[in-house]
Amino acid sequence: MSSVSSAPAVKRVSVRDIRARKGTSDKIVVVTAYDALFGRLVDEAGVDIALVGDSVGTVLAGYESTISVTLDQMIYHAAAARRGVKRALLVVDMPFLTYQVSAEQAVTNCGRVLQETGAEVVKLEGGGPEVTRAVRALTSVGIPVMGHLGYTPQSENALGRHRVQGRDDRAAATLRDHARALEDAGAFSVVLELIPAAVAADVTAAISIPTIGIGAGAACDGQVLVLPDLLGLNDQFTPKFLKRYATLADDVRNAVRQYGEDVRGGRYPDDDHSF
Ligand code: KIV
């Protein structure tokens, strides 16, 4: 009998695992990943969720805003990330106007994302009636949804670019209502972006699904950062909430400069790097 060797099975993080961490001290760690290379690295670093954010449009593709990102582009990046991410839960941002027009369109588009990429979850921005209708339709056919409230970049033309949301009592109450509506529609978690820490704490206490903060203070059940920001690769973006854990933009510039000097100076390739 021949023996078949197979790679050890990896236990994947599930939607249920994430939900179970609501209100615990076990904080949920989320970063973006847009391709297989960085997907593998963040997975090996032990993140709980890898988010294929539509920030890929502004951070990598150089668009002015995420509004330009298309469904096909998200599918391309999510399928690439899936090839690198083996253990973390893989969440994909649905681009602008792929889920608000009708519940049918939301189900068709989100279904495509799951079928064509192997990702487990979709993320939708907003908490108004068009979005909660989509969340209800999606969850009723078994598509898990992460919500996104506060500063929602796809609405930057209406909200103002990178403006903190929920500063006054009325806006804070709306945020709380939208978070409850998303939970009620079946979302299993919600990102809170750019809102005062006290408001995020209040929203977190008001719902029984985990909140994932970005620029929303420490009371959230987890935190998310955009990977090139965290790595100091995107060094022109300097918001108050961002903590950089590396200075890779400098490393890239220095490495490429040294390579250029070696090539120009005839030091590369040398005998050690030639056949
Ligand atoms: O697109 C993205 O990267 C996001 C995060 C900032 C939450 O939505």
pLDDT of residue 9: 77
pLDDT at 132: 98
187 part of a folded domain: yes
Residues 225 and 130 in one domain: yes
Atom 5 of ligand 1 has which residue's CA nearest to it? Answer: 53
Same domain, yes or no, for 140 and 268? no
- In whole angstroms, what is the distance from residue 268 CA to residue 270 CA? 5
Say yes or no: 198 and 275 in one domain.
no
Residue nearest to atom 2 of ligand 1 (CA): 53
pLDDT of residue 2: 44
User: Above 50 in pLDDT, residue 67?
Assistant: yes
Q: Do both 200 and 267 map to the same domain?
A: no
Residue-number span of the structural domain to which 264 is assigned: 248-275
pLDDT in tens, 148-205: 999 999 999 999 899 999 999 999 999 999 999 999 999 999 999 999 999 999 999 9
Is it the case that residue 47 has pLDDT exceeding 90? Answer: yes
Residues with a known catalytic role: 193
Beta bridge partners of 224: 30
Atom of ligand 1 nearest to the CA of 125: 8
Q: Specify the pLDDT at position 8.
A: 62
Q: Which atom of ligand 1 is nearest to the CA of 30?
A: 7
Regarding whether 275 and 199 lie in a shared domain, the answer is no
Q: What is the CA(170)–ligand 1 centre distance, in A?
A: 25
What pLDDT score does 3 carry? 46
Segment 70-83 mean pLDDT: 98
> Do residues 234 and 275 both lie within one domain?
no
Tell me: do 273 and 171 sit in the same domain: no
Ligand 1 atom at shortest distance from the alpha carbon of 191: 7
Residues 231 and 138 in one domain: yes
Q: What is the pLDDT of residue 6?
A: 60
pLDDT of residue 1: 42
Q: Is 74 a pocket residue for ligand 1 (Cβ < 6 Å)?
A: no
Atom of ligand 1 lying closest to residue 224 CA: 7
In a domain, 149, yes or no: yes
Is the pLDDT confidence value at 123 over 90? yes
* CATH number (domain holding residue 219): 3.20.20.60
Residue 74 lies in a domain: yes
The pLDDT confidence band at residue 45, using thresholds 50, 70 and 90, is very high
- The residue to which tokens 């609405």 are assigned: 155
Question: Would the CB of 53 count as within 6 Å of ligand 1?
Answer: yes
Euclidean distance between CA atoms 109 and 93, whole angstroms: 11
Same domain, 139 and 80: yes
Residue pLDDT, tens place only, 5-38: 566 678 999 999 999 999 999 999 999 999 999 9
Both 205 and 268 in one domain: the answer is: no
> What separation in Å is there between the alpha carbon of 5 and the centre of ligand 1?
39
Query: What is the total count of domains within the chain?
Result: 2
Instruction: Give the tens place of pLDDT for each residue, 209-267.
Output: 999 999 999 999 999 999 999 999 999 999 999 999 999 999 999 999 999 999 999 99
pLDDT band at 4 (very low <50, low <70, confident <90, very high): low
Best probe residue, ligand 1, of 29, 60, 214 (max atoms within 8 Å of C-beta) = 214
**CA diameter of the chain:** 71
Residue 10 lies in a domain: no
Please work out whether the CB of residue 224 comes within 6 Å of at least one atom of ligand 1: yes
Q: Which residue has its alpha carbon closest to ligand 1 atom 4?
A: 53
